[in-house]
Structure 1
């Protein structure tokens, strides 16, 4: 028969969402069921990357900030202890090229330069960063606060509280649409009227797609898709996942004449749970507007335009 744990852990944060550069205030309440000696309690801000690798998946779990709120202390049974930790959220949201890129005056020295008795001795200088929260097929960036209690008693597993790190607004990508698939291009595609800056979830993205055929071209219709594209490039392999989240019809059957532009208006909903565009160490998440010219009994003509989504 399993023995009862010696302590209960309660963990909460001052809010659920944070911007890069903010600080998380974590509240810990320890409820010992008996007298305990040499109790150690740590609270850490943790970033997690998850993405597929071949037939399996890979998870990278690392603390970017942490604090020992108890260090070999004694706790009296039945007497709750309340503790607080303040954990800075890194300002840097893209992979560093060198450790100095993660420099932030809010953090103490880390790694070999840290006080060996501090939590920061477990964190390397180049680990003080992390992309914003973005969850979806192909790859996810997650954040949480973790509280762990250790000692000579029977302690429960670490307690975790998920949080969200928001992505700030950025300019829309300047790249032109890119054709997908092989063969000879049958037309050119361009987008007009899109916002100049990234858009938040829940937005109706309005614009115009312009088609210019090289020769006479018949189509059953043109549709616009909003696609979450995750590209993984790591030592564990290369994968790409395109996940269409919204599809709208921009036209019914139509004929395009050579070198005569055809403009089609469209409106695409960005889902309310859409995560932002991010770049991590081994993968990136981009959002694409995909124009699909549906050709009867032939390969569709497909062009993709990069856009950006933010969550702040």
Structure 2
């Protein structure tokens, strides 16, 4: 027989919108009883989850006899849980409200919140009230852990990579550091070695994720593509054509991070679309972060 629903309302409210690794979070827990309810106890938790995929080799039985090796992609979730008691055994009267404040320390090694295709990090505050012979009452609230840009800035390659081809390409960015949700702007200068035409210019925002477990795994994803307005489609040798561009990083973009197990990097790629010829592109690594905006007076 399934347990009865619990007539308890649980709400959570962290004291801030975002936290740095090593900072403390003050969590407000509010419990209201719609009817008299006996409880065994209650706990608050801060849960960090790292989800990642990796490739591994496994042996399978061959239908024709013998065994063969197969490479498969597996998903793993590493979980870290901090717990504190918020309630002991007691009976809550109908209409009674109990409030608790719980302090958790964000681990100094905490990875920043954000989800990609094969690597994802999430932090969650959770409160659970243990009610005998009824479903536990619970509530969850997402917690955003920020990535200090200085922790990754030195690992970003400042040198653009340019495809060889019939034009010299110079890619410059106004800044190589951008917050999720902001626009990154730059200029591509094209210096043709011979006359040729182009269909257009596109700018791509690319995310590269790698994992190092077992055989490892790497996925490069073009997250966004935009067309760039150009004044000319016929380009002539011994001239230089500056082409400004911009592209907005999604507000939920997973920030850059690197550990011994997982890595997330971002790139801007600007491409000359050339009919009947191979495209030519320039690529620049960028630092995507989720640092919170400074409060007034900071």
Shorter chain as denominator, the TM-score bin is 0.7 to 0.9
Match of 1:2 in 2: 2
- Counterparts of 1:233 and 1:185 in 2: how far apart (Å)? 34
> For the Cα contact (< 8 Å) 1:137–1:243, is it kept in 2?
no
Question: Offset of 1:6 from its aligned partner?
Answer: 4.7
Match of 2:222 in 1: 243
Calculate the aligned-residue CA RMSD, in Å: 3.4
Unaligned 5+ residue runs, structure 2?
A: 56-71, 292-298
> For the Cα contact (< 8 Å) 1:42–1:66, is it kept in 2?
yes
Question: Offset of 1:290 from its aligned partner?
Answer: 0.2
Match of 1:75 in 2: 91
Match of 2:136 in 1: 156
Task: List aligned pairs for 1:166-185, cutoff 5 A.
Answer: 166-170=146-150, 171=153, 173-178=156-161
Question: Offset of 1:161 from its aligned partner?
Answer: 0.8
- Counterparts of 1:271 and 1:50 in 2: how far apart (Å)? 20
Match of 1:19 in 2: 20
> For the Cα contact (< 8 Å) 1:232–1:240, is it kept in 2?
no
Does 1:60 pair with 2:43?
Answer: no
TM-score of the pair, normalised by structure 1: 0.70
TM-score of the pair, normalised by structure 2: 0.73
Residues 1:206 and 1:35: Cα distance change in structure 2 (over 3 Å): closer
SS in 1 for 2:289: coil
Residues 1:186 and 1:149: Cα distance change in structure 2 (over 3 Å): farther
- Counterparts of 1:188 and 1:42 in 2: how far apart (Å)? 62
Question: Offset of 1:76 from its aligned partner?
Answer: 4.1
State the aligned residue count: 268
Does 1:297 pair with 2:276?
Answer: yes
Match of 1:206 in 2: 185
Question: Offset of 1:145 from its aligned partner?
Answer: 0.3
- Counterparts of 2:110 and 2:287 in 1: how far apart (Å)? 18
Query: Which sits farther off after the overlay, 74-83 or 302-311?
Result: 74-83
> For the Cα contact (< 8 Å) 1:7–1:30, is it kept in 2?
no
Question: Offset of 1:10 from its aligned partner?
Answer: 0.8
> For the Cα contact (< 8 Å) 2:206–2:220, is it kept in 1?
no
- Residue 121 of structure 2 is aligned with which of 125, 141, 156? 141
Match of 1:43 in 2: 44
